[in-house]
Amino acid sequence: MTDCIFCRIANGEIPAKIVRQDADTVAFRDLNPQAPTHVLVIPRRHLATLLDAGPEDGPLLAKLTQAAVEVARDLGLADDGFRLVVNTRESAGQSVFHLHVHLLGGRRMRWPPG
């Protein structure tokens, strides 16, 4: 999708602080961090929301989760813990309509989250 900012980041058209990438996923630092460590993990393939993922996307969703876990380990978050968040649609806080996982860590998280 040519007008999607995350697609453009995944394609290297827009610079980002990439922390990990492979054939299916890209992880980069959030420009508006909500925790000391805030990384977004996205699929290279455009899916607007989690609701657009079908049964055939199970392997891709697993890769997103695994990529987030690897980034958490690489950034030293595994021992103290971290949070993964997927916002789906506006009321849940989604502002960029390209499926993405927020990896948050480096501080104590509260519950409920908001």
Catalytic member of 38, 46, 100, 102: 100
- Contact criterion met (CB below 8 Å) for 58 and 18: no
Q: Which residue has 């392997």 as its token pair?
A: 59
Clarify whether 100 is annotated catalytic. yes
Residues catalogued as catalytic: 100
